[in-house]
Structures are given as C-alpha cells and as structure tokens.
C-alpha cells in the first residue's frame, strides 16, 4: 500500500528468517495520551453468596474462560504501542496492494496474489507491530484469546418499537409490560449492566 512518510515500514531480516518491522505511527497522538480501558475482574462466587447468581448468564455464552482471564495482568504499554501504529488491512487495501504491484510491473496484470508475491487475503485485520514484531488482530484472534468459537448469528431489520419480544423483555427486566428506567431494573440486571459496561463494552465516562 502507498503510505505517508509517518507510516513507512523498514524491514530487517533476522537469523530466524522472520522480518522485524520498524513501523511508523499511524495516528498523531502520543502513546502517553491514550487511555487504556481495562476490564475489571468479577467475583461470581461472592455475588452468588449475596443472592445474585449471574454466572449462568455467561456460561450459556461460553464466556467462563474470558472472565477467568480478567484476573491476569494487563500490559498497558504494549497496548498503547500497538494502537499508535495500527492500520486496517481490509479487502480494499488488498486490492490496492495488488494494483500497485501491477503499476510497477504491467506484465503482472491478471495474476493471482500468490503469483504477485502476496499472501492470500483471508479476512480483515488490524495490523501493527510490537517491539518490531509484526502483530495483527482478527476476529479469530479475539475468539482464541477469550477461548471460544468465532461464530454466531445476527438478525437485521428488527424494529425495537414493534418487536413481539418487547413485553417479555420488559416483564423480565422491569416486572412490567412497559419499558422502565434504570432505577426500575431488578438488582440482578443492574449488575449485568455494570458488568457489560466494565467488561464487555467498555467506555470512558458517562452513565448512558
């Protein structure tokens, strides 16, 4: 891909045959300016002892190992180092990569990626490097890190205002057929919301 001078890569071959990449920054922020959102550990045993049995919700989603992993360390400096040098490698970037090869050598027109000397494109990646070691994040990598399969289903086009599940959900969460507010939530669901905000969909500041 064509990159700016701040995003150029210099490769250095090492004895093992792998290439270190001295990768430039892809964002204007300095590493120390980034705020890393760290998940909080959850003590399901203590919650159950106090009458809030929540583990079954996450066992049904095969997330036991994920919550166990949260008891381990977080390497904040490595995370920051990764993200200030990160870039998206998607299908568009792969096509651009192929196009640039052909611009350099027009005789390569119509060749496959392998014939162009490129690796096959399999999925979208977030690419970066840590201490010179090329590193990438994909959906499969995330699934492997939280020890669960990278599969599931998603249904589009559901209207939250007319969904036939509204009354069931409202009755479960608010003990009413109508949608309530946070103060109307049962204790278990207040804790589930807290876990979602601090462990699954992290955000910085604000309570909405």
Each residue of 47-71: pLDDT tens digit?
A: 999 888 999 999 988 888 888 888 8
- Pinpoint the alpha helices (H) of the chain: 44-49, 55-59, 64-69, 76-83, 91-104, 139-145, 166-174, 187-195
User: What total of structural domains would you count in the chain?
Assistant: 1
14 occurs within a structural domain: yes
Residue in the block written with tokens 């090329």:
134
106 occurs within a structural domain: yes
**CB within 8 A of 118, min separation 6: which ones?**
94, 97, 98, 101
Residue-level pLDDT at 148: 82
117 occurs within a structural domain: yes
121 occurs within a structural domain: yes
CA atoms within 13 A on the CB side of 71: 7
191 occurs within a structural domain: no
Which range has the top average pLDDT, 5-9, 15-19, 182-186, 204-208? 182-186
Reported confidence tier of residue 173, pLDDT bands at 50, 70, 90? confident
140 occurs within a structural domain: yes
Count how many residues are written for the chain. Answer: 208
113 occurs within a structural domain: yes
The C-alpha atoms of residue 184 and residue 172 are separated, in whole angstroms, by 11
The C-alpha atoms of residue 69 and residue 56 are separated, in whole angstroms, by 17
Reported confidence tier of residue 15, pLDDT bands at 50, 70, 90? very low
172 occurs within a structural domain: no
Range of the domain at 119: 5-38+74-150
Query: Is residue 111 classed exposed, middle or buried when 0-12, 13-18 and 19+ CB atoms within 10 A define those classes?
Result: middle
């Amino acid at each position: 891909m064509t990159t700016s001078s701040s995003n150029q890569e210099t490769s250095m071959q090492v004895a093992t045959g792998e290439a270190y990449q001295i990768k430039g920054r892809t964002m204007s922020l300095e590493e120390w300016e980034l705020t890393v959102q760290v998940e909080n550990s959850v003590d399901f045993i203590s919650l159950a002892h106090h009458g809030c049995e929540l583990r079954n919700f996450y066992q049904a989603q095969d997330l036991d190992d994920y919550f166990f992993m949260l008891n381990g360390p977080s390497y904040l400096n490595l995370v920051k180092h990764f993200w200030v040098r990160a870039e998206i490698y998607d299908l568009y970037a792969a096509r651009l990569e192929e196009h640039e090869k052909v611009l350099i050598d027009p005789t390569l027109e119509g060749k496959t990626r392998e014939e162009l000397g490129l690796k096959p494109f399999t999925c979208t990646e977030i690419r970066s490097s840590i201490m010179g070691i090329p590193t990438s994040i994909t959906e499969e990598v995330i699934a492997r890190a939280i020890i669960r399969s990278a599969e599931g289903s998603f249904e589009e086009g559901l209207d939250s205002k007319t969904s036939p599940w509204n009354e069931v959900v409202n009755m479960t969460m608010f003990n009413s057929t109508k949608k309530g507010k946070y103060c109307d939530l049962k204790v278990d669901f207040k804790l589930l919301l807290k876990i979602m905000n601090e462990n699954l969909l992290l955000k910085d500041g604000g309570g909405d």
